[in-house]
Structure 1
Amino acid sequence: MNTEDYIVKKPIKLLETSTKEVVEDAKGKLKKIRRKISKLQDTMYAEGKYGMLICLQGMDTSGKDSLIREVFKDVNARGVEVHSFKVPTELELKHDFLWRHYIALPAKGKIGVFNRTHYENVLVTRVHPEYILSEKIPTIQSIDNLNDEFYHDRMERINAFENHLTKNGTIVLKFFLNLSKDEQKNRLLRRLQIPEKNWKFSSGDLKERKLWSKYMFCYQDLLNRTSKENAPWFVIPADDKPTARLLLADIVLEEMKKYNFKEPTLSKKDTEQLADFKTQLNNE
Protein backbone atom coordinates (compact mmCIF):
# COMPACT_ATOMS: atom_id res chain seq x y z
CA MET A 1 0.00 0.00 0.00
CA ASN A 2 1.18 3.48 -0.82
CA THR A 3 -0.39 5.86 1.69
CA GLU A 4 0.39 8.78 -0.63
CA ASP A 5 -2.35 7.48 -2.94
CA TYR A 6 -5.03 8.55 -0.47
CA ILE A 7 -3.86 12.04 0.47
CA VAL A 8 -5.61 15.07 -1.01
CA LYS A 9 -2.82 17.03 -2.66
CA LYS A 10 -4.74 18.43 -5.60
CA PRO A 11 -8.42 19.09 -6.31
CA ILE A 12 -10.43 15.89 -6.28
CA LYS A 13 -13.86 14.89 -7.53
CA LEU A 14 -15.57 12.50 -5.15
CA LEU A 15 -17.73 10.97 -7.87
CA GLU A 16 -14.51 9.82 -9.55
CA THR A 17 -12.92 8.54 -6.35
CA SER A 18 -13.05 4.85 -5.46
CA THR A 19 -15.19 3.82 -2.51
CA LYS A 20 -14.03 0.20 -2.38
CA GLU A 21 -10.72 -1.56 -2.10
CA VAL A 22 -10.17 -5.04 -0.72
CA VAL A 23 -6.83 -6.03 0.82
CA GLU A 24 -6.26 -9.72 1.44
CA ASP A 25 -6.03 -10.66 5.14
CA ALA A 26 -6.72 -7.06 6.17
CA LYS A 27 -7.68 -8.16 9.69
CA GLY A 28 -4.42 -10.03 10.23
CA LYS A 29 -2.33 -7.17 8.88
CA LEU A 30 -4.19 -4.69 11.09
CA LYS A 31 -3.27 -6.66 14.22
CA LYS A 32 0.43 -6.22 13.46
CA ILE A 33 0.10 -2.53 12.67
CA ARG A 34 -1.94 -1.60 15.73
CA ARG A 35 0.66 -3.24 18.00
CA LYS A 36 3.30 -1.02 16.39
CA ILE A 37 1.07 2.03 16.88
CA SER A 38 0.74 1.10 20.56
CA LYS A 39 4.52 0.90 21.04
CA LEU A 40 5.07 4.21 19.28
CA GLN A 41 2.36 5.85 21.38
CA ASP A 42 4.07 4.62 24.57
CA THR A 43 7.28 6.32 23.43
CA MET A 44 5.39 9.45 22.36
CA TYR A 45 3.78 9.56 25.82
CA ALA A 46 7.15 9.20 27.56
CA GLU A 47 8.74 11.90 25.42
CA GLY A 48 5.83 14.29 25.96
CA LYS A 49 6.70 16.54 23.04
CA TYR A 50 3.92 15.76 20.55
CA GLY A 51 0.22 14.99 20.63
CA MET A 52 -1.79 13.54 17.75
CA LEU A 53 -5.26 14.53 16.59
CA ILE A 54 -7.09 12.12 14.30
CA CYS A 55 -10.23 13.54 12.70
CA LEU A 56 -12.86 11.20 11.29
CA GLN A 57 -15.63 12.31 8.96
CA GLY A 58 -18.05 10.26 6.90
CA MET A 59 -21.69 9.73 6.13
CA ASP A 60 -23.87 7.74 8.53
CA THR A 61 -22.89 4.03 8.60
CA SER A 62 -19.41 4.74 7.17
CA GLY A 63 -17.91 2.75 10.05
CA LYS A 64 -16.33 5.39 12.27
CA ASP A 65 -17.19 3.76 15.62
CA SER A 66 -16.01 0.27 14.73
CA LEU A 67 -12.90 1.68 13.07
CA ILE A 68 -11.92 3.48 16.28
CA ARG A 69 -12.48 0.31 18.28
CA GLU A 70 -10.44 -1.93 15.97
CA VAL A 71 -7.55 0.40 15.18
CA PHE A 72 -6.82 1.63 18.71
CA LYS A 73 -7.76 -1.40 20.82
CA ASP A 74 -4.09 -2.15 21.63
CA VAL A 75 -3.20 1.40 22.68
CA ASN A 76 -2.83 1.94 26.42
CA ALA A 77 -6.08 3.38 27.79
CA ARG A 78 -4.20 6.38 29.16
CA GLY A 79 -2.88 7.18 25.70
CA VAL A 80 -6.01 7.58 23.58
CA GLU A 81 -9.07 9.79 24.06
CA VAL A 82 -12.16 9.69 21.86
CA HIS A 83 -14.63 12.56 21.54
CA SER A 84 -17.91 12.24 19.64
CA PHE A 85 -19.43 15.60 18.80
CA LYS A 86 -23.21 15.74 18.70
CA VAL A 87 -25.60 18.69 18.44
CA PRO A 88 -24.02 21.62 20.32
CA THR A 89 -25.21 22.13 23.89
CA GLU A 90 -26.57 25.41 25.23
CA LEU A 91 -23.18 26.15 26.80
CA GLU A 92 -21.29 25.34 23.60
CA LEU A 93 -23.54 27.64 21.59
CA LYS A 94 -22.55 30.51 23.87
CA HIS A 95 -18.99 30.24 22.55
CA ASP A 96 -17.46 30.42 19.08
CA PHE A 97 -17.86 27.39 16.83
CA LEU A 98 -14.36 26.06 17.53
CA TRP A 99 -14.48 26.34 21.33
CA ARG A 100 -15.86 22.90 22.13
CA HIS A 101 -13.27 21.30 19.87
CA TYR A 102 -10.39 23.27 21.31
CA ILE A 103 -11.08 22.16 24.89
CA ALA A 104 -11.20 18.52 23.74
CA LEU A 105 -7.75 18.53 22.11
CA PRO A 106 -5.29 15.82 23.18
CA ALA A 107 -2.52 16.65 25.61
CA LYS A 108 1.06 16.08 24.50
CA GLY A 109 1.85 12.40 24.53
CA LYS A 110 -1.71 11.34 23.74
CA ILE A 111 -3.74 10.43 20.68
CA GLY A 112 -7.06 12.25 20.42
CA VAL A 113 -9.74 10.95 18.07
CA PHE A 114 -12.57 13.23 16.98
CA ASN A 115 -15.55 11.14 15.83
CA ARG A 116 -17.15 13.85 13.73
CA THR A 117 -15.20 17.04 14.03
CA HIS A 118 -15.02 20.81 13.73
CA TYR A 119 -15.80 20.25 10.03
CA GLU A 120 -19.43 19.66 10.92
CA ASN A 121 -19.52 23.47 11.16
CA VAL A 122 -19.00 23.75 7.40
CA LEU A 123 -20.83 20.56 6.50
CA VAL A 124 -24.08 19.91 8.36
CA THR A 125 -24.61 23.64 8.84
CA ARG A 126 -24.16 24.15 5.12
CA VAL A 127 -26.69 21.47 4.25
CA HIS A 128 -28.98 22.79 7.00
CA PRO A 129 -28.17 26.52 7.17
CA GLU A 130 -30.95 27.11 9.71
CA TYR A 131 -28.67 25.49 12.33
CA ILE A 132 -26.38 28.52 12.15
CA LEU A 133 -29.10 30.71 13.63
CA SER A 134 -28.70 28.90 16.96
CA GLU A 135 -25.20 30.39 17.21
CA LYS A 136 -26.68 33.91 17.43
CA ILE A 137 -23.95 35.49 15.34
CA PRO A 138 -24.50 39.29 15.34
CA THR A 139 -24.01 39.63 11.56
CA ILE A 140 -26.38 36.76 10.69
CA GLN A 141 -30.04 37.70 10.97
CA SER A 142 -31.48 34.98 8.73
CA ILE A 143 -30.37 32.19 6.44
CA ASP A 144 -30.48 34.73 3.63
CA ASN A 145 -27.23 36.10 5.08
CA LEU A 146 -25.50 32.75 4.56
CA ASN A 147 -23.61 32.11 1.33
CA ASP A 148 -20.48 30.39 0.04
CA GLU A 149 -18.35 33.28 1.29
CA PHE A 150 -19.52 32.65 4.87
CA TYR A 151 -18.57 28.96 4.78
CA HIS A 152 -15.31 29.55 2.95
CA ASP A 153 -14.36 32.11 5.59
CA ARG A 154 -15.03 29.48 8.26
CA MET A 155 -12.80 27.06 6.39
CA GLU A 156 -9.99 29.59 6.45
CA ARG A 157 -10.43 29.98 10.20
CA ILE A 158 -10.28 26.20 10.54
CA ASN A 159 -7.06 26.20 8.50
CA ALA A 160 -5.61 28.81 10.86
CA PHE A 161 -6.77 26.77 13.88
CA GLU A 162 -5.03 23.64 12.61
CA ASN A 163 -1.92 25.58 11.64
CA HIS A 164 -1.74 26.87 15.21
CA LEU A 165 -2.06 23.30 16.54
CA THR A 166 0.70 21.87 14.36
CA LYS A 167 3.09 24.68 15.26
CA ASN A 168 2.58 23.79 18.91
CA GLY A 169 3.26 20.07 18.61
CA THR A 170 -0.04 18.49 17.59
CA ILE A 171 0.13 16.12 14.62
CA VAL A 172 -3.13 16.57 12.70
CA LEU A 173 -4.43 13.81 10.41
CA LYS A 174 -7.88 13.98 8.83
CA PHE A 175 -9.75 11.07 7.27
CA PHE A 176 -12.86 11.08 5.13
CA LEU A 177 -14.44 7.62 5.00
CA ASN A 178 -15.68 7.54 1.43
CA LEU A 179 -18.79 5.36 1.45
CA SER A 180 -20.95 4.66 -1.60
CA LYS A 181 -24.67 5.34 -1.48
CA ASP A 182 -25.40 1.70 -2.34
CA GLU A 183 -23.30 0.41 0.53
CA GLN A 184 -24.99 2.81 2.95
CA LYS A 185 -28.33 1.37 1.84
CA ASN A 186 -27.06 -2.15 2.59
CA ARG A 187 -25.86 -1.15 6.05
CA LEU A 188 -29.10 0.63 6.91
CA LEU A 189 -31.09 -2.44 5.82
CA ARG A 190 -28.85 -4.60 8.02
CA ARG A 191 -29.71 -2.42 11.00
CA LEU A 192 -33.38 -3.01 10.29
CA GLN A 193 -33.12 -6.73 9.61
CA ILE A 194 -30.98 -7.72 12.62
CA PRO A 195 -32.90 -7.18 15.90
CA GLU A 196 -29.82 -6.44 18.00
CA LYS A 197 -28.83 -3.75 15.48
CA ASN A 198 -32.24 -1.99 15.48
CA TRP A 199 -31.16 0.49 18.14
CA LYS A 200 -28.62 1.96 15.72
CA PHE A 201 -31.30 2.92 13.22
CA SER A 202 -32.84 6.37 13.14
CA SER A 203 -35.50 7.65 10.79
CA GLY A 204 -33.32 10.73 10.50
CA ASP A 205 -30.80 8.62 8.59
CA LEU A 206 -33.29 8.30 5.74
CA LYS A 207 -33.94 12.04 5.71
CA GLU A 208 -30.23 12.79 5.50
CA ARG A 209 -29.79 10.14 2.81
CA LYS A 210 -32.10 12.14 0.55
CA LEU A 211 -29.58 14.98 0.80
CA TRP A 212 -26.67 12.81 -0.37
CA SER A 213 -25.76 15.01 -3.33
CA LYS A 214 -25.62 18.13 -1.16
CA TYR A 215 -23.40 16.37 1.35
CA MET A 216 -21.03 15.18 -1.39
CA PHE A 217 -20.78 18.71 -2.77
CA CYS A 218 -19.96 20.09 0.68
CA TYR A 219 -17.47 17.32 1.43
CA GLN A 220 -15.70 17.83 -1.88
CA ASP A 221 -15.46 21.57 -1.30
CA LEU A 222 -14.06 21.29 2.22
CA LEU A 223 -11.60 18.54 1.23
CA ASN A 224 -10.21 20.69 -1.54
CA ARG A 225 -10.02 23.85 0.55
CA THR A 226 -8.70 22.48 3.84
CA SER A 227 -6.22 19.75 2.95
CA LYS A 228 -2.87 21.31 3.82
CA GLU A 229 0.64 19.92 4.06
CA ASN A 230 0.66 20.31 7.83
CA ALA A 231 -2.91 18.98 8.27
CA PRO A 232 -3.75 16.76 5.30
CA TRP A 233 -6.97 15.01 4.38
CA PHE A 234 -6.91 11.34 3.39
CA VAL A 235 -9.84 9.90 1.42
CA ILE A 236 -10.30 6.29 2.53
CA PRO A 237 -12.48 3.89 0.48
CA ALA A 238 -14.95 2.70 3.12
CA ASP A 239 -17.19 0.11 1.47
CA ASP A 240 -15.00 -2.71 2.83
CA LYS A 241 -14.58 -2.11 6.57
CA PRO A 242 -11.49 -4.31 7.23
CA THR A 243 -9.59 -2.62 4.40
CA ALA A 244 -10.64 0.89 5.50
CA ARG A 245 -9.38 0.18 9.03
CA LEU A 246 -6.10 -1.19 7.71
CA LEU A 247 -5.51 1.78 5.41
CA LEU A 248 -6.13 4.30 8.16
CA ALA A 249 -3.93 2.41 10.64
CA ASP A 250 -1.12 2.16 8.11
CA ILE A 251 -1.26 5.90 7.46
CA VAL A 252 -1.24 6.68 11.19
CA LEU A 253 1.75 4.38 11.71
CA GLU A 254 3.72 5.90 8.83
CA GLU A 255 3.04 9.42 10.06
CA MET A 256 4.09 8.55 13.62
CA LYS A 257 7.37 7.09 12.37
CA LYS A 258 8.30 10.42 10.80
CA TYR A 259 8.66 12.07 14.21
CA ASN A 260 11.27 9.68 15.57
CA PHE A 261 9.91 9.75 19.11
CA LYS A 262 12.51 9.05 21.79
CA GLU A 263 12.13 8.05 25.41
CA PRO A 264 13.75 10.46 27.89
CA THR A 265 16.99 9.40 29.55
CA LEU A 266 17.95 9.57 33.21
CA SER A 267 20.09 12.43 34.42
CA LYS A 268 23.84 11.83 34.56
CA LYS A 269 23.66 11.84 38.36
CA ASP A 270 20.93 9.17 38.50
CA THR A 271 22.67 7.06 35.84
CA GLU A 272 25.86 7.03 37.91
CA GLN A 273 23.87 5.87 40.94
CA LEU A 274 21.97 3.01 39.28
CA ALA A 275 24.12 0.38 40.97
CA ASP A 276 23.50 2.01 44.37
CA PHE A 277 19.76 2.10 43.77
CA LYS A 278 19.74 -1.62 42.91
CA THR A 279 21.75 -2.40 46.03
CA GLN A 280 19.33 -0.44 48.23
CA LEU A 281 16.35 -2.33 46.87
CA ASN A 282 18.03 -5.74 47.10
CA ASN A 283 19.05 -5.09 50.72
CA GLU A 284 15.52 -4.26 51.90
Structure 2
Amino acid sequence: MTDPRPTNTPAALSRRALSRGAAWSVPALAVASVAPALALSLTGCATMLWTKTTLSGAQGTSGVRTGTITLASGDKVTVTVSQNRTGGSRSYDQALTYDGTNGDFSATSAGAQRAGTAGAGANKDAKYVVDPSTTSSVLTLNQQTSSSGSRASETLTFSFKDSTGALVTPETMSFNIYDITMQDKSIISSTKANQRYTDQVSFANATMTTTNHGGVPATYTQTATSLTGTSQSTATGNYVDVVLTPTGSGNVTLTYANANTYGPLTSSFNQQYIGIGDLEVCF
Protein backbone atom coordinates (compact mmCIF):
# COMPACT_ATOMS: atom_id res chain seq x y z
CA MET A 1 0.00 0.00 0.00
CA THR A 2 1.30 3.48 -0.87
CA ASP A 3 2.18 5.75 2.08
CA PRO A 4 0.04 8.92 1.60
CA ARG A 5 2.27 11.04 3.83
CA PRO A 6 4.58 13.59 2.16
CA THR A 7 8.22 12.67 2.11
CA ASN A 8 9.14 15.78 4.08
CA THR A 9 7.00 14.91 7.12
CA PRO A 10 8.71 14.42 10.50
CA ALA A 11 8.07 10.68 10.27
CA ALA A 12 9.76 10.44 6.86
CA LEU A 13 12.66 12.60 8.00
CA SER A 14 13.06 10.37 11.04
CA ARG A 15 13.19 7.30 8.82
CA ARG A 16 15.87 8.89 6.60
CA ALA A 17 17.87 9.97 9.64
CA LEU A 18 17.61 6.44 11.01
CA SER A 19 18.80 5.03 7.67
CA ARG A 20 21.79 7.39 7.61
CA GLY A 21 22.66 6.41 11.16
CA ALA A 22 22.48 2.72 10.28
CA ALA A 23 24.68 3.22 7.21
CA TRP A 24 27.35 4.93 9.29
CA SER A 25 27.22 2.22 11.95
CA VAL A 26 28.09 -0.69 9.60
CA PRO A 27 31.75 0.24 8.96
CA ALA A 28 32.30 0.78 12.68
CA LEU A 29 31.02 -2.72 13.40
CA ALA A 30 33.14 -4.14 10.57
CA VAL A 31 36.27 -2.49 11.91
CA ALA A 32 35.60 -3.83 15.38
CA SER A 33 35.19 -7.38 14.05
CA VAL A 34 38.77 -7.48 12.69
CA ALA A 35 40.49 -5.93 15.68
CA PRO A 36 43.61 -7.88 16.79
CA ALA A 37 42.93 -10.58 19.33
CA LEU A 38 44.06 -9.91 22.87
CA ALA A 39 46.65 -12.39 24.08
CA LEU A 40 45.53 -14.84 26.71
CA SER A 41 47.13 -14.84 30.12
CA LEU A 42 49.15 -18.07 30.03
CA THR A 43 50.86 -19.91 32.87
CA GLY A 44 52.85 -23.10 33.15
CA CYS A 45 55.42 -24.98 31.07
CA ALA A 46 55.34 -27.51 28.25
CA THR A 47 57.91 -29.32 26.12
CA MET A 48 57.95 -29.55 22.33
CA LEU A 49 59.61 -32.56 20.71
CA TRP A 50 61.20 -31.85 17.33
CA THR A 51 59.91 -35.18 16.05
CA LYS A 52 56.37 -33.91 16.67
CA THR A 53 56.79 -30.86 14.42
CA THR A 54 55.74 -30.53 10.80
CA LEU A 55 58.23 -29.34 8.18
CA SER A 56 57.47 -26.93 5.33
CA GLY A 57 59.55 -24.67 3.11
CA ALA A 58 63.01 -25.44 1.73
CA GLN A 59 64.86 -27.54 4.29
CA GLY A 60 68.42 -26.33 4.78
CA THR A 61 67.81 -22.81 3.48
CA SER A 62 64.36 -21.54 4.49
CA GLY A 63 62.62 -24.40 6.27
CA VAL A 64 59.82 -23.90 8.79
CA ARG A 65 58.97 -26.26 11.65
CA THR A 66 55.62 -25.94 13.42
CA GLY A 67 54.44 -27.68 16.57
CA THR A 68 51.80 -27.34 19.29
CA ILE A 69 52.36 -27.54 23.03
CA THR A 70 49.70 -27.85 25.72
CA LEU A 71 50.22 -26.12 29.06
CA ALA A 72 49.06 -27.61 32.37
CA SER A 73 46.08 -25.23 32.24
CA GLY A 74 44.97 -26.83 28.98
CA ASP A 75 45.88 -23.77 26.92
CA LYS A 76 47.53 -24.57 23.60
CA VAL A 77 50.42 -22.63 22.09
CA THR A 78 51.60 -22.90 18.50
CA VAL A 79 55.39 -22.81 18.17
CA THR A 80 56.97 -21.83 14.84
CA VAL A 81 60.70 -22.05 14.13
CA SER A 82 61.73 -20.45 10.83
CA GLN A 83 65.12 -20.97 9.22
CA ASN A 84 66.99 -18.39 7.14
CA ARG A 85 70.38 -19.29 5.65
CA THR A 86 72.62 -16.23 5.64
CA GLY A 87 75.95 -17.74 4.58
CA GLY A 88 77.61 -20.86 3.21
CA SER A 89 75.39 -23.79 2.31
CA ARG A 90 73.60 -26.72 3.87
CA SER A 91 75.69 -29.83 4.37
CA TYR A 92 74.95 -33.51 3.89
CA ASP A 93 75.87 -36.43 1.67
CA GLN A 94 74.15 -35.56 -1.58
CA ALA A 95 73.53 -39.26 -2.26
CA LEU A 96 70.73 -39.01 0.30
CA THR A 97 67.73 -36.75 0.09
CA TYR A 98 66.70 -33.97 2.44
CA ASP A 99 63.57 -35.62 3.75
CA GLY A 100 63.08 -34.09 7.19
CA THR A 101 65.20 -36.66 9.03
CA ASN A 102 68.39 -36.23 6.99
CA GLY A 103 70.45 -33.09 6.55
CA ASP A 104 70.41 -29.56 7.89
CA PHE A 105 67.28 -28.64 9.92
CA SER A 106 66.39 -32.33 10.29
CA ALA A 107 64.49 -33.77 13.27
CA THR A 108 65.13 -37.22 14.73
CA SER A 109 64.84 -39.12 17.98
CA ALA A 110 67.89 -38.89 20.22
CA GLY A 111 70.56 -41.34 19.08
CA ALA A 112 69.33 -41.37 15.48
CA GLN A 113 70.76 -37.96 14.54
CA ARG A 114 73.02 -37.83 11.49
CA ALA A 115 75.57 -35.29 10.28
CA GLY A 116 77.61 -35.04 7.10
CA THR A 117 81.27 -34.23 7.71
CA ALA A 118 84.57 -34.51 5.88
CA GLY A 119 85.67 -38.13 6.01
CA ALA A 120 82.68 -39.39 8.02
CA GLY A 121 81.58 -42.85 6.97
CA ALA A 122 78.00 -43.86 6.25
CA ASN A 123 76.86 -40.21 6.43
CA LYS A 124 76.96 -40.29 10.22
CA ASP A 125 79.82 -38.74 12.13
CA ALA A 126 80.61 -41.07 15.03
CA LYS A 127 81.68 -38.04 17.07
CA TYR A 128 78.18 -36.55 16.91
CA VAL A 129 76.87 -38.18 20.08
CA VAL A 130 73.56 -37.37 21.78
CA ASP A 131 72.70 -39.20 25.00
CA PRO A 132 69.01 -40.27 24.88
CA SER A 133 68.82 -39.84 28.66
CA THR A 134 69.28 -36.07 28.21
CA THR A 135 66.68 -35.43 25.47
CA SER A 136 64.00 -37.25 23.49
CA SER A 137 64.51 -35.49 20.16
CA VAL A 138 67.17 -33.57 18.25
CA LEU A 139 67.05 -30.77 15.68
CA THR A 140 70.31 -31.04 13.72
CA LEU A 141 71.94 -28.00 12.12
CA ASN A 142 74.53 -29.20 9.58
CA GLN A 143 76.25 -26.71 7.28
CA GLN A 144 79.43 -25.94 5.39
CA THR A 145 81.38 -23.17 3.74
CA SER A 146 80.06 -22.56 0.23
CA SER A 147 82.13 -23.11 -2.91
CA SER A 148 82.63 -19.34 -3.06
CA GLY A 149 84.35 -19.41 0.35
CA SER A 150 81.41 -17.90 2.24
CA ARG A 151 81.40 -18.96 5.91
CA ALA A 152 78.33 -20.92 6.95
CA SER A 153 75.62 -19.15 8.93
CA GLU A 154 71.91 -19.67 9.53
CA THR A 155 69.36 -17.99 11.79
CA LEU A 156 66.37 -19.62 13.47
CA THR A 157 63.47 -17.40 14.55
CA PHE A 158 61.19 -18.66 17.34
CA SER A 159 57.62 -17.33 17.53
CA PHE A 160 54.66 -18.31 19.71
CA LYS A 161 50.89 -17.84 19.31
CA ASP A 162 48.09 -18.66 21.72
CA SER A 163 44.78 -20.30 20.72
CA THR A 164 43.33 -16.92 19.63
CA GLY A 165 46.20 -16.36 17.19
CA ALA A 166 47.76 -13.60 19.28
CA LEU A 167 51.55 -13.46 19.59
CA VAL A 168 52.76 -14.32 23.08
CA THR A 169 56.19 -14.14 24.70
CA PRO A 170 57.36 -16.88 27.05
CA GLU A 171 59.14 -16.13 30.31
CA THR A 172 61.85 -18.67 29.50
CA MET A 173 62.91 -21.10 26.77
CA SER A 174 65.33 -23.92 27.55
CA PHE A 175 67.06 -26.72 25.64
CA ASN A 176 70.36 -28.57 25.41
CA ILE A 177 72.83 -27.71 22.66
CA TYR A 178 75.01 -30.64 21.63
CA ASP A 179 78.53 -30.66 20.21
CA ILE A 180 79.59 -27.02 20.25
CA THR A 181 83.21 -27.60 19.22
CA MET A 182 85.91 -26.51 16.82
CA GLN A 183 87.99 -28.32 14.22
CA ASP A 184 91.44 -26.88 14.73
CA LYS A 185 94.73 -26.86 12.88
CA SER A 186 96.03 -30.17 14.27
CA ILE A 187 93.39 -32.22 12.47
CA ILE A 188 94.61 -31.44 8.97
CA SER A 189 97.95 -29.64 9.14
CA SER A 190 100.19 -27.64 11.42
CA THR A 191 99.25 -24.22 10.08
CA LYS A 192 96.53 -21.98 11.46
CA ALA A 193 95.48 -21.25 7.90
CA ASN A 194 94.08 -24.78 7.77
CA GLN A 195 91.87 -24.46 10.84
CA ARG A 196 88.48 -25.34 9.47
CA TYR A 197 85.56 -24.26 11.65
CA THR A 198 84.53 -22.92 15.03
CA ASP A 199 80.95 -23.50 16.16
CA GLN A 200 79.27 -20.38 17.51
CA VAL A 201 75.68 -20.07 18.71
CA SER A 202 74.38 -16.59 19.50
CA PHE A 203 71.00 -15.21 20.52
CA ALA A 204 69.11 -11.96 19.93
CA ASN A 205 66.24 -10.49 21.96
CA ALA A 206 67.13 -12.76 24.88
CA THR A 207 69.76 -13.21 27.56
CA MET A 208 71.32 -16.61 28.14
CA THR A 209 72.32 -18.58 31.19
CA THR A 210 73.65 -22.13 31.36
CA THR A 211 72.66 -24.57 34.09
CA ASN A 212 74.59 -27.73 33.31
CA HIS A 213 77.43 -29.06 31.18
CA GLY A 214 77.82 -32.70 30.24
CA GLY A 215 80.11 -34.94 28.22
CA VAL A 216 83.65 -34.25 27.07
CA PRO A 217 84.80 -31.69 26.18
CA ALA A 218 82.55 -29.28 28.05
CA THR A 219 84.58 -26.15 27.38
CA TYR A 220 83.24 -23.01 25.72
CA THR A 221 83.75 -19.31 25.50
CA GLN A 222 80.55 -17.88 26.95
CA THR A 223 78.94 -14.43 27.01
CA ALA A 224 75.46 -13.29 28.00
CA THR A 225 74.25 -14.01 24.46
CA SER A 226 76.61 -16.57 22.89
CA LEU A 227 78.55 -19.82 23.14
CA THR A 228 81.69 -20.49 21.08
CA GLY A 229 83.50 -23.83 20.83
CA THR A 230 87.09 -24.07 22.03
CA SER A 231 87.83 -27.82 21.78
CA GLN A 232 87.76 -30.56 19.19
CA SER A 233 84.95 -33.08 18.91
CA THR A 234 85.35 -36.32 20.84
CA ALA A 235 83.58 -39.63 20.66
CA THR A 236 81.97 -39.09 24.07
CA GLY A 237 79.91 -36.08 23.00
CA ASN A 238 79.12 -32.95 24.96
CA TYR A 239 76.22 -30.61 25.63
CA VAL A 240 75.30 -27.48 27.52
CA ASP A 241 71.88 -26.73 29.01
CA VAL A 242 70.78 -23.26 27.85
CA VAL A 243 68.05 -21.12 29.40
CA LEU A 244 66.91 -18.07 27.42
CA THR A 245 65.01 -15.17 28.97
CA PRO A 246 63.37 -12.96 26.31
CA THR A 247 64.22 -9.29 26.78
CA GLY A 248 61.28 -7.85 24.81
CA SER A 249 58.05 -8.73 23.06
CA GLY A 250 59.76 -9.55 19.76
CA ASN A 251 60.79 -12.98 18.50
CA VAL A 252 63.89 -14.69 19.88
CA THR A 253 66.50 -15.70 17.30
CA LEU A 254 69.34 -18.22 17.33
CA THR A 255 72.20 -17.84 14.88
CA TYR A 256 74.55 -20.76 14.20
CA ALA A 257 77.71 -19.63 12.46
CA ASN A 258 81.29 -20.52 11.63
CA ALA A 259 83.33 -18.15 13.80
CA ASN A 260 86.60 -19.35 12.27
CA THR A 261 89.03 -16.42 12.13
CA TYR A 262 91.56 -18.04 9.83
CA GLY A 263 91.59 -18.93 6.15
CA PRO A 264 91.44 -19.91 3.42
CA LEU A 265 88.17 -21.78 3.77
CA THR A 266 87.15 -24.57 1.42
CA SER A 267 83.73 -26.19 1.21
CA SER A 268 85.12 -29.74 1.33
CA PHE A 269 86.45 -29.44 4.88
CA ASN A 270 84.35 -26.75 6.56
CA GLN A 271 81.45 -29.01 7.48
CA GLN A 272 80.06 -28.32 10.94
CA TYR A 273 77.09 -29.46 12.98
CA ILE A 274 75.31 -29.04 16.32
CA GLY A 275 72.16 -30.53 17.81
CA ILE A 276 69.31 -28.81 19.68
CA GLY A 277 67.37 -30.90 22.19
CA ASP A 278 63.72 -30.80 23.30
CA LEU A 279 62.40 -27.25 23.60
CA GLU A 280 60.80 -26.43 26.96
CA VAL A 281 58.72 -23.23 27.05
CA CYS A 282 57.44 -21.57 30.24
CA PHE A 283 54.89 -18.76 30.61
If the length of structure 1 is used for normalisation, what is the TM-score? 0.25
Is the strand fraction higher in 1 or 2?
2
Bigger proportion of residues as helix: 1
Q: Whose relative contact order is higher, 1 or 2, with alpha carbons under 8 Å and at least 6 apart?
A: 1
